[in-house]
Every structure is written in C-alpha cells, then in structure tokens.
Amino acid sequence: MDEVAGLINQATTEMEHFLPELAVSSWSISSDELGNLAREIHSRGVSVDFRPADEALIESSPASRDSVAALTLENGQSLVATRTEEDREWLRVSRQRSVPLELNVRIENHPIPSSVVLRNPRNLYRYGGSGVIVSAIKDEVTRVVWPHKWTMLEAVANQHGIKVEESDNGRNALALIRLAGGPGGLRWLCHRQILKLLTDTAASTSMSWWKKRSLQQAQAVANAQEDPNSAMEELKQLIGEVNVSHDSETSGTFTYSQICQALGDKNTAEAWLRWAETSNMIRRLGKIKCEHCRYEMRWYLEQTPLPVTCMICGRSVSRPFGPTGLAFHYSLAEPLRRSIDDDSIYHSLIMRWIVAIYQAGNGELVGAHPGVNFYDNGKLIGEADIVLLFSDGRVVPVEVKRSGRQLIQGEVDKLRVIANLFDSPSIILGSGEASDKCSEALQYDKGDGRCRVITSEYWMNPQPSPALGWKHIPDWSQISGGQNPSLEDHEERYSRMLVEFDKRGLGQFDPVRQILD
C-alpha cells in the first residue's frame, strides 16, 4: 500500500503542470477492492480520483481520413463536397456503391464545443468533433452552417440548466470591440498615458458621469461593514478621479498637444490620431467664429455646412475659418465614452489579451464574451465580466476590476458560484492596475490552476504571445522567464509598432529600410 501511495504521489507531482485531474484505474482489481484502495489512499493524505476500468476506457474512433480544402464562408455558411477524389477512388476499388459515410467539417482555430445539445441528432445540423457533421452517403455538394459563438455558449449553458444573457456592461464593451474591428484592434488603447487622457476627457463630458460615480461611492460606503479600510481607500480614489471641466468650450475634448504629451513624440501622436479617426474612436471638431457677432461655435468637421449660420445672430458666416492656423479639438465616440464611464473598457482590453494568447496557442478557445448574466430558473445567479468557452465545453468566468483593491474575497466567491454551475475548477481575475497595487488579489493566484490574476503588465503588451501551460488559463512561467514584464518595455514597443502600423496604412512601410536602420 505504501508503494502504491508513493507512486500516485510521484505521478501527481510530475503531472500537476499538465493535467488538472489525475485518475487511477485497474483491470486486475475489482470495483469493491478499488473503492477500499481509494479510501486507504485518501486517508494517507493523497488526493486522487479512482475509476473502474470500464469507465476510464476511451472508445476508439471509426476509421477516417483527413483532408484540407479551401472553403468560402459567408455569414457562417459554406458549400462543401461530401466526397473527395480519394473517397471516390476508394469506393471504386472496394466496389461499394453505398456506405454510411459521414463528413466532419472543421475550421482551424474555430472549434465547436462539446455539448449534448449541439450533438442532438434531431437538429437540422449536428455538431461534434469540433465541427459540423453531415451525411456523405451521396456524392453531392451540401451546405454547412457554422453556429454563432453566442449560440454555442447558450447551448453549453442549456446543458447545465442555465440561461445566459448579455449584461449592460457587456453590450457597452461589445460596442467598443465592434468599433475597433475586433478585439485585436484595441491594442492601440493599451498605453497608460492614453488611457489616462481618455479617462480624464470622459470625466469632463457631463454630470451623468458624476452621478454614476456618486452611486459607486455610496456603494463603497455601504460595503464598509465588511472591509472599512478597503471601502475608504476606494472612496478616496473615486473622489480623486472627478475631473469635471468648467470650460464649456473644452469640456469633453482633448487636443493634439495633449496626445503628443501622452505619447512623447509627434510621429507616434499623429499615427495614433490617424488610427483613432479611421476607426471612429474619436471625432474632430473645429472652432468657427461668426464674423458679425464674434460668437464662437464648435462643429464636427464632417458635419460642417458651408455657409454656416450663426446660432446667436442668425446671419450667414461666409468665412467661418480665420486667416491663420485652425486649432482642432477631439471628442470621444459614444461607445468609447460609455465603456470608460462603466469601466467596461478594461473588460474589453483584458479580453483582447486573453483572445490573443489563445488564438496564437492551441486553438481550443471557442469564444470570449464580455458581460454575461447567468440565470437559474429565472433567478439571477451572478454576472461575469468575461466568459471563456473552450472546445471541450469548459466555461471559465473572468472578473475584472479597474482597481486591484476591488478584487476581494467576496468577488472571488461570487465568481466561484458561476464556475461551479459548469463544474469548472478555474477562474480568472483581471485588474486595470499593475501587480504592485494588487498584492491582496495576487494571493488568490497559487499556481495550482484554480485562479489566475492578470495585471496590466500582461494585458498592456501590444503583441501577446501564447502562454498556455494549464489547459484553460495562462501560465506565467512561459512569459518573460516567469518574471513580470515591464510596462516601460511594452510602451516602447507600442510606439514602434504603432508607427510601423501607420506606415503600412499609408503605403510607406519599407522592410529593407527597417533592417538598415
């Protein structure tokens, strides 16, 4: 018995960084004896799962052949041939006219999760093996339809008796992601000074921002009974971030010089402004002065009618722009402003990083969804700021806070409730701050695959690389030798990449010149 316990202990230690669970089985020991062995091993402090051999046996797959073909997807649909030339040759040689063949269509890096609901044979389309399954009994061209990623999450949740809906924060985060053309387009927001400038600009837009922040302050005071020190610190931070402008002319806008100051040089600032305007993240305003009453107005340039009618004297302004330089201001697009108001911008930015490391890795990520509410029999169970769905049907919830001090035990417990709905052992916590301000939150990250804490040193990387040790959460040992990466290094790399990105867009990028320089 001691020898068996020692072998199990050794296997558990050696495989802890590869498998979240280890099971022991045997053909030579009966189920009753195996149960007695399990109780004896557990009494020695060894944690391992024992299963009968017939349950642990993996059934072999039927004979199959893989082939690669180019498909044209339009709105998630494509036409495919049910048989290849090799199939026809095999049928000709074997002299078989009709065989029960099936075709499983899979798209690289776009798997379909394992789900009883999706595998239901009564469905018009059956999904399994990470793809779409269609009959290939006839040699024909058939249509395959790829399910929407949100529908796949609904199907997996339905299997567990859970209903999911987008939250308000989720809709705001999704609007920002769509504005950027996808999660990857948000990389040019991953800069400390840019985020500060945008946050200050949003803070001076209207009193609605102050009302929302006041509610957050009230909530912080209400939570004082649980952790008064943390509540007080959060209250101080929220009050300190109030930045309402008294100048109606500049309220809710920033200037070119402020962008230069944030990014450090004109080339990077101009590249950022071109990206932000092209992606409709910001809008440019010009100041127009009435030549009759001298009243000054601000107009969005794309909406400036000529001639302009003065809003005060009502007369036509034939020369709205002065003889010297025209100073521009920039305002935030509504999706960007809203995402800053409710902090969902951090949900979007951290989701960008998570999607990037998984898409560059093993291709097991089915989808990432910002802001999801979970219901059980019509009752709200909880909300996750990001939900990750994997090809084996595993769901990993993510909680994101702007401040690391907000990642307290209560938030972890609420996230565990959601994870338990899907029998998921793993959760992820995300912070808008660096690790030196997340000391309490980092205590939950014990390196055992149950909780991972993502700080700004990671998600501000403009070009993340795969870091997948554990199956469903990132592994820090594969990033920078296990050391926290530097925010300064990220921002230096950010500037180089942004200027290069801008040159490519202008058709001015020269790879040979880059080598010579």
Q: What is the pLDDT of residues 207-239, one digit of tens each?
A: 555 556 666 666 666 655 566 666 666 666 666
User: Which of 337, 363, 394 is the last residue in one of the domains?
Assistant: 337
Residue 185 has pLDDT above 60, yes or no: yes
The residue length of the chain stands at 517
Is 321 a domain residue? yes
pLDDT tens digits along 389-423: 988 888 999 999 998 888 989 999 999 999 999 98
Minimal CA–CA distance to 224: which of 408, 382, 9? 408
Is 509 a domain residue? no
Question: What's the mean pLDDT when you consider all of the chain?
Answer: 79
Same domain, 118 and 253: no
The CA-based diameter of the chain, rounded to the nearest angstrom, is 100
Residues 6+ apart with CB under 8 A from 239: 217
Range with the poorest average pLDDT among 59-63, 103-107, 316-320, 384-388: 59-63
Is 70 a domain residue? no
Query: Both ends of the chain: CA-CA distance in Å?
Result: 67
Same domain, 129 and 15: no
Is 158 a domain residue? no
**What's the rounded Cα separation, in Å, for the pair 134 and 127?**
9
Is 65 a domain residue? no
Provide the number of structural domains found in the chain: 4
Q: Name the token pair of 186.
A: 């948000």
Question: CA dist 301 to 286, 316, 331, 333, Å?
Answer: 6, 18, 12, 14
Same domain, 198 and 325: yes
Check residue 429 and give its pLDDT. Answer: 94
Same domain, 366 and 440: yes
Check residue 18 and give its pLDDT. Answer: 39
DSSP state of 101: -
Same domain, 127 and 170: no
Q: Are 249 and 298 in contact (CB under 8 A)?
A: yes
Is 514 a domain residue? no
Is 419 a domain residue? yes
**What's the rounded Cα separation, in Å, for the pair 78 and 72?**
6
The residue that leads in pLDDT, 476 or 74, is 74
Same domain, 401 and 445: yes
Check residue 20 and give its pLDDT. Answer: 44
Distance of CA 298 to the CA centre of its chain: 37
The stretch 440-469 carries a mean pLDDT of 83
**What's the rounded Cα separation, in Å, for the pair 378 and 4?**
48
Residue 98 has pLDDT above 50, yes or no: yes
CATH code for position 449: 3.40.1350
Same domain, 367 and 381: yes
Domain that holds residue 82: 77-147
Q: Are 458 and 346 in contact (CB under 8 A)?
A: no
Check residue 343 and give its pLDDT. Answer: 92
- pLDDT level of residue 167 (50, 70, 90 thresholds): very high
Q: Angle CA(12)–CA(18)–CA(24) in degrees, nearest 5? A: 40
Q: Name the token pair of 187.
A: 């990389």
Q: Name the token pair of 208.
A: 């609605």
The stretch 174-196 carries a mean pLDDT of 95
Residue 483 has pLDDT above 70, yes or no: no
- pLDDT level of residue 69 (50, 70, 90 thresholds): confident
Question: CA dist 318 to 202, 300, 329, Å?
Answer: 33, 18, 22
Same domain, 219 and 361: no
Is 184 a domain residue? no
Range with the poorest average pLDDT among 347-351, 367-371, 432-436: 432-436
Amino acid identity of residue 128, one-letter, is: G
Query: With helix as H, strand as E and coil as C, how does 7-47 read?
Result: HHHHHHHHHCCCCCCCEECCCCCCHHHHHHHHHHHHHCCCC
Q: Indicate if the alpha-carbon torsion angle 275, 279, 282, 287 is positive or negative.
A: positive
Backbone angles phi, psi at 428, to 5 degrees: -130, 135
Backbone angles phi, psi at 131, to 5 degrees: -145, -170
Half-sphere CA count of 487, side-chain side, radius 13 A: 14
Question: CA dist 113 to 127, 150, 507, Å?
Answer: 8, 12, 41
Within 422-486, residue ranges assigned H as helices are 439-442, 456-459
Q: What is the dihedral of CA 452, 455, 459, 464, to 10 degrees?
A: -60
Check residue 389 and give its pLDDT. Answer: 93
Same domain, 415 and 468: yes
Same domain, 305 and 201: yes
Q: Is the pTM of this model over 0.85?
A: no
Q: Are 355 and 365 in contact (CB under 8 A)?
A: yes
- pLDDT level of residue 161 (50, 70, 90 thresholds): very high
Same domain, 111 and 83: yes
Same domain, 369 and 448: yes
